[in-house]
Structure 1
Amino acid sequence: MTVDQTSARHTYAPHLPFLRRYARAISGSQKAGDAYVRAALEALLADPGGLDTNPSNPRLELFRLFHLFRSPVLQPSGIAEPEGAALHGREGLMLTAIEGFTSSEAASILNISATEMEAAIADMKARIAAAIRSRVLIIEDEPIIAMHLEQIVADMGHETVANAITREEAVQEAGRTLPDLVLADIQLADGSSGVDAVGDILARQDVPVIFITAYPERLLTGERPEPTYLVTKPFQAEAVVATIGQALLARQPLFAPA
Structure 2
Amino acid sequence: MSTLEVKDLHVGIDTQEEGYQEILKGVNLTMSTGEIHAIMGPNGTGKSTLSETIMGNPTYKVTQGDILLDGKSILEMPVDERARAGLFLAMQYPAEIAGVTNAEFMRAAINARRAEDDQISVMNFLKRLDKNMKILDMDEEMAERYLNHGFSGGEKKRNEILQLMMIHPSFAILDEIDSGLDIDALQVVSKGVNSLRGADFGSLIITHYQRLLNYIVPDFVHIIMDGRVVKTGGPDLAKKLEDEGYAGLRDELGIDVSLTDDNKKED
TM-score between both structures, scaled by the size of structure 2: 0.29
Higher relative contact order (Cα pairs below 8 Å, separated by 6+ residues): 2
TM-score between both structures, scaled by the size of structure 1: 0.30
Query: Which is richer in strand?
Result: 2
Query: Which is richer in helix?
Result: 1
